Structures are given as structure tokens and as C-alpha cells.
Structure 1
Amino acid sequence: MDGIASAWTQERKLEWIQALRGLAAFMVVMVHSRSMLMGSASGRAVAEQVLLPMAMGVDLFFIISGFLMVWTTRDFDGSKAYAWTFLVKRFARIWPLLAVMTPVALVVEHGFGGLLDRALVLWYAEGLAFIPHDPVASGIYFRMAVGVAWTLCFEWYFYLVFAASMLCGRWRYAVMAAWFALTLLAIPLARGGYHLHVATQPLVAWSRYANLAIHPIVWDFVAGMAAAWIYGSRVTIRSTWTICGAMAVLLVALALAWQPLGMTNFFGPQGWGAPLAIVFAGIALLAKADAIKVPRWSVWLGGISYSLYLVHVYVFQIAQRIAGALPLSQPTLEIVLFLARPALAVICAWAVFRYVESPASASMRRLLLSVRAPRRIEAGSATFESSRR
């Protein structure tokens, strides 16, 4: 009973993370919905000035991921079995739904005839290995067949590094720090022209996957890990005014130095990632001081966030095709779609989460853990499991 109570308490403590995850997913949804506002000057202004910056939801996703990987493995026992269990749960969390959505994406974008095109099928299937399709063609987006899957390439890379470091036992964070020092500092410096702009990072010609390792957006994960160490440390600030004041000072200082530092309105540490790292660390301290009340709906949205992230683009496309047949003027049609598509995406994401993502992930997890999963690891993974990420 004590273990169950402890797991429930930890899950309640991490509700703020679920809320942020839901916010991040919905921000991405709204970024992609902005195309409906491009028909007028005022609409374009809203789309570019208000909605486009919501793409920072991706940075927030990565920061959350770094945080959770540290926080949910704080009971690491140094065994290889634990590392295997960790990697299995991460794989089972993201791969099954991607495997389902990949043929769906192919059919939505190319029709059922696309299933007969061998080259096209192989192109889509390659994304299931989390390998960037073509880093040269579209920069950070990698020209992935399932467009949003570019972020999953980074997620899986980070999981691999984290799991591999576990094989070094109590030295895991030292090994991880050495790896990031090599890939995010030493190698880029040696290649010349070191900077943190994610869209103009010099590419590695001999390996598509190696581009993930040296990409500066990986610093988002590192920022999340740092926040987790602060959250789990003895550092506790009870005054919410002190926390909020410190956040405000740091954000103002960053805003004043934005241009001199060469900051950009784009992904990564030299863009949205930097202010988000400050805000996230502050929220973590507020949560630690029990100063955050999380709305239940935001926790629910966080629960379906992965499904929402993967399905919304295709819900948008289908909804637009159906709405195109309605007898509506173009301006009216654009407003209706701008409002309706996100709502439809949330509804579909809930259904996909309940009937596809959740059971498929659970089945994959059971299958892979049956290969090698000591009982003592499974018995001690209640907190790890509660994060669902």
C-alpha cells in the first residue's frame, strides 16, 4: 500500500508536467492551423506575429523530455536490466503510434495508390527507424515523410544516449556530460564557426544520423535535465515572489541582450529554447514549493498530447477537403476551419489515445519486457511508469 500511495503522490506532483505537455502540443496545433488566416493582411499579421512563435512548443517538449528522463530514473539501480527496461518503455511510448500513423499519413497525402508505390512506401517506412530522411533538403525538419516525426528523431537519439550512459552505472551522468561536451562543443568547435543557430548548422555529409548528435537543439534536453536536478535537490525557495521575480529579471535581461547575442525567433538555445528554459526552471521551483494549482482539463490534454501531436496534421487535411465542398465563401470557410480544425484534432486525438496509442503501447511494452525484464525491476517501476513518457 505504501508503494501505491507513493506512486500516486509522485503522479500528482507531476501533474504540472502533464499540463505543460498538453500546452506544448496545443501550441504546435495552433501553429499549423495558422495557414487558414493567410487570406487577409490582418490574418497574416496574427498568423506570423502571434501563432508562429507557438512553434516553441517543440522546445518545450524537448525540455520536458530531458526533465522526465532524469526524474523518472532517480531510482536507477545501476543494472543493465534497468537500462533495458528504460529503453523498452521509451520505445513502446513513441513507436507503436508512429507505426500506425505512418500508413495513415501515406494514404491521406498520396491516396491508396501510394501503397503500391514501392519507393514511396520505403520512404515512409524509413521514418520508423527514426533516421532523418534528408537533412540537406529542409534543414531541421529533415524532409520527413511524416512531417512532425523530425522531433521523434531527436527524442529517440536522446533516449539512446541516456540508456547507453546507464551501462556505466554510477558514472552515467559523467559519461553523458562527456558525450555532450564532445558532440555539442568539441566537434562543432573543431569544424569551425561555432554557433547555436539550429537552421544553419553545418551538416555531416557521411551520416544522416550523426547530424542529430551535433545539433544545438539537443541543448533543450540538457536544460530539462538541469531543471530536474534542481527540482530533486535540496534547493527549495518557498517565496513565490522570489521565484517569479528571479524569472522576470532573467527574462528581461535576455530580452535586452536578444539582438547583441544574435538570438532568433526560431527553435533552439539561441532562440525560443533559452527563455523557455528559464521559465521552465521557475515553474519547477514553484511546483516544488507547491505553489501551482493545475486544472484537471490541462492534465487530460497532457495525457493525449502525443496522439494530438501525431494526428492533428492529417485531421486538418481531411477536414479541409470535406469543408471545401461546403457552400461557404472563402473568408467564412477559412474562419470556420481555423476554429473547427483544432477542436476536431483534440476529439480525434482522444479517440486515438484511448483506442490505439494506449493499448498499442501497453502491448508493445509487455512484449519487449518479456524478452528480458527482471521482476525486481518491474516491481520498482511504478513511479517510472506514472510519467507515461
Structure 2
Amino acid sequence: MSAHGKKLAWIQALRGIAALMVVMVHDRGALAGEGGAGRTVANALLPMAMGVDLFFLISGFLMVLITRDFDGSKAYAWAFTAKRIARIWPLYAMVTLLAIGVDHPGLHGLVDRSVLLPYLEGLLFVPHNPAASHLYFQMAVGVAWTLCFECYFYLVFALCMLFGRWRYGVMAGWFALTLIAIPVLRGGYNLGVATQPLVAWSRYANLAVNPIVWEFVFGMLAGWLYLSRFTIRYNAVIYSSVMLSMVVLLLGWHRIGMVNFFGPAGWGAPLTLLFFGAVLLAKKGGLVAPAWCVWLGEISYSLYLVHVYVFELVERMAVRIPTSSEMIGAVLFVARPIAAVMAAWMVFRYVEAPASARVRECLLRISWGRHAGKHSPPWPDTESSVRRVSGGP
């Protein structure tokens, strides 16, 4: 690993932690049906869903970091877009095929238009039914609701690159319009991600006005802070400032209308404070990432996409064990995450990494304009160092 790669190991580790949090919040279902201690553990694991908020903060941070040497050319903007597509879409397309097979055995899922349509919409990252929950969108591949937001952010980021050195000004204007002006004009402003009035004329527009997008913006602000000259000399000042802010926020949690859910009015708020603290510490080399977290971060996208289906397969095998339902629940709670991590490692090594590399190579051969080849963006070391962590959840 390069020196820059070692410096960014902390962000890779955070991705691993975020992925593991999502896995565990889904794994709690193995204990949710039990009484007593089992249900208590299951309820205690619910806040681990905030791993999604952490993913979004990391994405905003990384997009600023890997485009720090943006040269204003359309070729650079296309290269950025191509690499994001190659990072997200190939594995997701393969998992979509897996999902059809698991959810609809036989040929039914491949020939019935009503069954197939939601999966095809998911491949385009179009919310299937925003009215279903205002956030999860009733996606055929359940975890893909986060990818809809992720790819919307990438789209905005890429399009704003076409404005050259004005890109961040245009981006600020767009987010001010979609996250502030339009919600206010539609009848009242609030940061609740599950309480936004639906946009009836466009399913995709519901992504733009949802306050959870603020987490990408906060991540971008953290990226600019990381690249700036601003530092805090003493680690103790960083720790005490973050802790004091966290205490004030948690003490006033219900009084200011905070909720135990996704978004800036929920788990995203304390995570943002912690993330900014981590950025300030990382600037000074004050964060040491455990090797296992860095490794987990490397396979995090595969883990995020496949763990639900690994859980399903493990459960189908476990129910055949002649024992009590309580014992099966305990076995599943332990065995499913282990199986998911092992499967994710194999998927990453033999599917995700080679497929992503191949698609990236093909897309980068496409020229933007007649003379695009002469202006191919000189990607910095930062890009190679964080290429594997700049994708989706």
C-alpha cells in the first residue's frame, strides 16, 4: 500500500464498520421473535442501521477527495462518471439476477413482466414505489434504496463538473434549490426523511428533495476540511469538542425533535459530529485503523449487497436442524454474519473486482468528443489509493 493509501486506511476502515453495522441490524431478525434477552438484544441492535448514514457521509467525503485535481475538462467528468458506473453497476446487476432466482425460483421471474419490471427499474436506480415507505421505495432488491440516493448524488456531482471551475457553486445552488427552497415552497420545511410530501409527477424527484441528501453534503464539507490548511493542534481539543457537542445533542435529543431513524434529524447528526472529529484527527495522523477493519472495508460493497441473500440461504438450511426455534435463532444470529463475510470475500475477489476492472476499462475507452484523448485527466495518487472505497454502500 502506498503512503497515501496508508493515510486513508481510516476511511476504508469506516466503510468496513458501516457495512458490518448494516449486516448486524439485519441479523437481529434472528432474535426478534424470541422473548426476554433475545428480543432485548434485537432491539439494542436497531440503531446500527446508522451504518447507512455513515456510508453517505463517506461518499460525499470521497467525491471531494478523488476529484481534488479536477482540470475542468469534459474528459475528466466522463472518466469520473465511468469509474462510478464501473464501481457500482456490474456487481449490482449480478446480484439482481441472484435476487430474481432466490425470490422467484424457476422461469417465472424472467418471463413475467409484472415481476421483472421492478428489478429492471432497480438496475436504472429508479425508486419503484416512493409511496410505499417514503424512503425504502419498495425496491425489488431491498438494499438498493441506498444505491438510488448514492447514484443520484454521483449524477449531480458529474453534471456539475461540466461547469468547470464553477462546479461547486452550481452544486451549492442545486442543493439550495432542492433541499431548501422547494421543500419550503411545498408547505413547510422539516428534516424528517420519512415525512416528506411525495413528488407525484416524478418518482426520481423524490430523491432530490429528501433531507437524507444533506449527509452527502456534510461529507463534502468534511472533504474540504480535510484538504484545507485548517488544523487543531491538540488532539485533546478535538476529543473534548466532539464529546461536548455529542452530550449537548443527546441531552436535547427529544426536545429539538430528533428521531431514532436515518437522516440529519436522526442518526446522521451525531455521526456527522463524530465524522468531522475523525477527519480532524486523520489530518494529523491521529487515527490508526485496525487491519481487520481495513480488510472489511475492501469487501464492504460485496458484503452490503449479498448478505441478505446469504442470510436467506443459511436460514433455509438451519430450519432443517431438529431443535427448538430459540436454538435455531441463536445459531442463525452467529452463523449468518460469518457466512456473509466469507461469501462477500469470495464475491469481491472473483466477481466484483474483476468485473469492475473490466467495465471500467471498456468505459474509459469511450472518448468524450473528438479530441478527448488529448485531455485525458491525469488521475492523482489519491484516486488509485481510494478507488475501492469510492463506490456505493
Aligned twin of 2:313: 318
- d(CA) in 2 for partners of 1:41 and 1:192? 44
Match of 2:12 among 18, 22, 34: 18
Instruction: Report what 1:62 is aligned to.
Output: 56
Does 2:205 match 1:205?
no
Shift of residue 16, structure 1, vs aligned partner: 0.4
Q: Deviations over 1:253-272 (max 9, x none)?
A: 11122112100000000000
**TM-score of the aligned structures, taking structure 1 as reference length:** 0.96
Instruction: Encode CA deviations 1:222-273: one digit per residue, 9 max, x unaligned.
Output: 1100111111111112311110000001111111221121000000000000
Cα distance in structure 2, aligned partners of 1:380 and 1:185: 34
Q: Deviations over 1:318-345 (max 9, x none)?
A: 1000111112221111101000000000
AA at the equivalent of 2:163: C
Of the three residues 106, 118, 127, the one matched with 2:100 is 106
- Return the match for 2:332 from 329, 332, 337: 337
CA contact (8 A) 2:302 2:348 kept: yes
CA distance in 1, matches of 2:229, 2:106: 57
1:283-322 deviation digits (Å, cap 9, x = unpaired): 0111111111111111110000000000000000010001
Distance 1:262 1:138 in 2: 20
Is the 2:238–2:281 contact (alpha carbons within 8 Å) kept by the matching residues of 1? yes
What is the alpha-carbon distance in structure 2 between the residues aligned to residue 375 and residue 147 of structure 1? 42
Hey, what's the Cα distance between the residues in 2 that align with 1:98 and 1:84? Answer: 21
Query: For residues 280 and 378 of structure 2, what CA distance do their matches in structure 1 show?
Result: 30
| Partner of residue 243 from structure 1, selected from 227, 238, 242 | 238
SS of residue paired to 1:374: helix
Q: Distance in 2 between matches of 1:211 and 1:301?
A: 32
Which letter maps to 1:14?
L
Give the corresponding residue for 2:168.
173
2:281 match: 286
The answer to whether residue 222 in structure 2 is matched with residue 227 in structure 1 is yes
The amino acid across from 1:318 in the alignment is L
Please give the TM-score of this superposition, normalised by the length of structure 2. 0.95
1:354 to 2:349 alignment: yes
* Identity over aligned pairs, percent: 61
Contact preservation (8 Å) 2:262, 2:268: yes
Runs of 4+ in 1 over 4 A off after TM superposition: none
Residue 34, structure 1, aligned to residue 28, structure 2:
yes
How many residues are paired up?
382
3-state SS, counterpart of residue 361 of structure 1: helix
- SS of alignment partner, residue 365 of structure 1: helix
Q: For residues 346 and 229 of structure 1, what CA distance do their matches in structure 2 show?
A: 33
Q: Which segment drifts farther, 369-378 or 99-108?
A: 369-378
CA distance in 1, matches of 2:275, 2:42: 25
Higher helix proportion:
1
For 2:363, the aligned partner's letter is L
Partners in 2 of 1:375 and 1:24 — Cα distance? Answer: 40
Q: Is the 8 A contact 2:65 2:382 kept in 1?
A: no
Change (3 A) 1:375 1:343: farther
Structure 1 residue 81, shift from structure 2 partner: 0.6
Q: What residue in structure 2 maps to residue 84 of structure 1?
A: 78
Q: What is the root-mean-square deviation of aligned Cα atoms in Å? A: 1.3
The 3-state SS of whatever aligns with 1:371 is coil
Measured in 2, the distance between the counterparts of 1:236 and 1:137 equals: 45
Tell me the SS of whatever aligns to 2:148: helix
* Residue 295, structure 1, aligned to residue 290, structure 2: yes
Using the alignment, how far apart are the partners of 2:13 and 2:284 within structure 1? Answer: 17
Once structures 1 and 2 are overlaid, which stretch shifts more, 287-296 or 207-216?
A: 287-296
Aligned-residue offset at 1:118: 2.6
Q: How does 1:132-143 map to 2 (within 5 A)?
A: 132-143=127-138
C-alpha distance in 2, partners of 1:374/1:137?
A: 46
Determine if contact 2:73/2:375 at 8 Å carries over to the other structure: no
Structure 1: unaligned runs, 5 residues or longer: 1-6
